[in-house]
Amino acid sequence: MKTYRRLVCILVLFMPVLGLAQVSSPAKRLEALDLAARLLAPKENPASSLPADLVDLFNPSRFGAQAKMNDALRPTLGSDHEILLKIAENIKPSGMLMMHGEPLLLFREKKLKVGDTLNIAFEGNDYVLVITGIEPTSFKVSLNHEEITRPIKH
């Protein structure tokens, strides 16, 4: 916007020099200079009239404070290993299958291989478990750097 104003002012001032318009009298020249001065005059920032305690919705630091408050109110579930133990109790695959020489863990119609992830909602939090091993009678899952072996119950 400022660039546009400056361009207009420059054109208004140099129109006679460029031959674009003829400013015939000193009154017309003063009028052109007044117009240029008004266009180049600094405008008041509309944000300066806002209240000082207004919360900026686009300020990420505000969300950090809210997240800290939520963490303080949320009960701690324990370490990753403890959380994995609690979650793993509820993981009950229906079986194991070998397909093309690769072991697959069966959850009804869903077939998961080593490296696939399980998204689990547990006590109000979402966790991503990774299947790290599949044996004929057991499987391994990990959460972050913690790993646990669970049996496959038929």
* Calpha distance 69→60 (Å, rounded): 15
pLDDT digits (tens, 9 = 90+) for 19-77: 555 556 888 888 888 888 888 888 888 877 878 777 767 766 655 555 555 555 445 66
pLDDT digits (tens, 9 = 90+) for 66-125: 555 555 544 566 788 888 888 888 888 888 888 898 999 888 888 989 999 888 888 888
* Calpha distance 137→154 (Å, rounded): 9
